[in-house]
Amino acid sequence: MRPIKNIHGDKAPHWVGDGFYVKTLINHLEDNPDFNYSHTDPFLLFDYGNPTTFAPNPEYKSQPHGIGQHPHKGFETVTIAYSGEISHADSTGGRGDILEGDVQWMTAGRGILHEEFHSKAFGQRGGVFSMVQLWVNLPSAHKLTEPKYQSIKRSEMPIVELIDHNETNNQTAIGKVAIIAGDWQGVLGAASTFTPINLWDIELHAAGSTTLPIPSSHNVLLLVQEGSLLINSTPVNAGNLIQFAAPSQSSVDDQSEQTSDVSTLSTDTIEIQYPMPTDNTETRAPIKLLLLSGEPIGEPVAGYGPFVMNTQEELRQTFRDYQTGHFGK
């Protein structure tokens, strides 16, 4: 079982534009010796937007809530809409709405400009808005890759049932996992990635316990999006990000020598338990989790604002290109 190293969730929330009220639970720019990029590689930044209620916006057509055009380079952004809807448009011509349960996986690569707003439909009606956005680093070989856009509908994600391990017949489903990216014991996710990454959207809807299999060579993080549960017998509440112990160097070295055949990969486990109700009248809402695991890239990172490169000179060149109109070319 992969031990828990720390639980993070004490960050103050802040606004990104006027449409996204988030807590930044991972930030590669922070110099925290106990929780920096070496512990989260290949994940650079993670914004958790807890459920927030927006009133109908009377100016939803001309002044939607969100953030206007801004650049990215050298990594990917992954946006998951739990509640509400997001409209996206970028400089490659990509555009569309991210509906509830859907995922937008945008590869900035050599450079892209994009904007993110509440959709017109959501702006008009208002309601509960909840999302997360993750920045995934690109290895140096792919830093300047062509920008692309993956629009992943919930219906396109493979679904795996979670079975209660306390049941002797192992037939009782207590939840499910939508495989956004990566591999669940041979079930492959919907998204394509540049390095080995698992991104699993997990829901528990009944009391019981089960285990999550994760590669022993990956850095592993688990967000409690909604609800409260036991993780490796430790109580964790919504809005917290669990940091698990780092993989051993021998696991990383062994993984690099193995083939891409998933049957050869060694795994760890994480135990998750939805506790029994304390009384017969208690109603329980589903618990929602998001698992992030990734094989460390292990390369130096030079980042500033929306740009993440490998060296300070590459970063300076990126700023020169942006200022002189050569960005993304």
Task: Find where tokens 């499910």 sit.
Answer: 176
Is 30 within any annotated ligand binding site?
no
Cα(310)–Cα(28) distance, rounded to whole angstroms?
Answer: 13
Could you tell me which of 210, 211, 153, 214 has the C-alpha nearest to residue 178?
A: 153
CA 28 to chain centre: 14
> Which H or E run includes 324?
helix 312-324
Cα(41)–Cα(221) distance, rounded to whole angstroms?
Answer: 11
Is the bond preceding 71 in cis, omega lying within 30 degrees of 0? Answer: no
> Which H or E run includes 316?
helix 312-324
Is 116 within any annotated ligand binding site?
yes
Cα radius of gyration (the chain): 20
Task: Spell out where 157-315 has E strands.
Answer: 159-163, 173-181, 183-184, 187-188, 197-204, 208-215, 219-226, 229-231, 234-236, 241-244, 267-274, 287-294, 302-304, 307-309
* Residue partners of 81: CB distance under 8 A and separation at least 6: 98, 99, 100, 101, 102, 103, 130, 131
Is 72 within any annotated ligand binding site?
yes
290 and 226 Cβ atoms separated by less than 8 Å? no
In single-letter form, the type of residue at position 15 comes to W
Cα(71)–Cα(87) distance, rounded to whole angstroms?
Answer: 16
Q: Helix, strand or coil for residue 12?
A: coil
Q: What are the structure tokens assigned to 298, written together?
A: 């292990």
In the annotated binding site for Fe cation, the residues are 70, 72, 114, 116
List binding-site positions: 70, 72, 114, 116
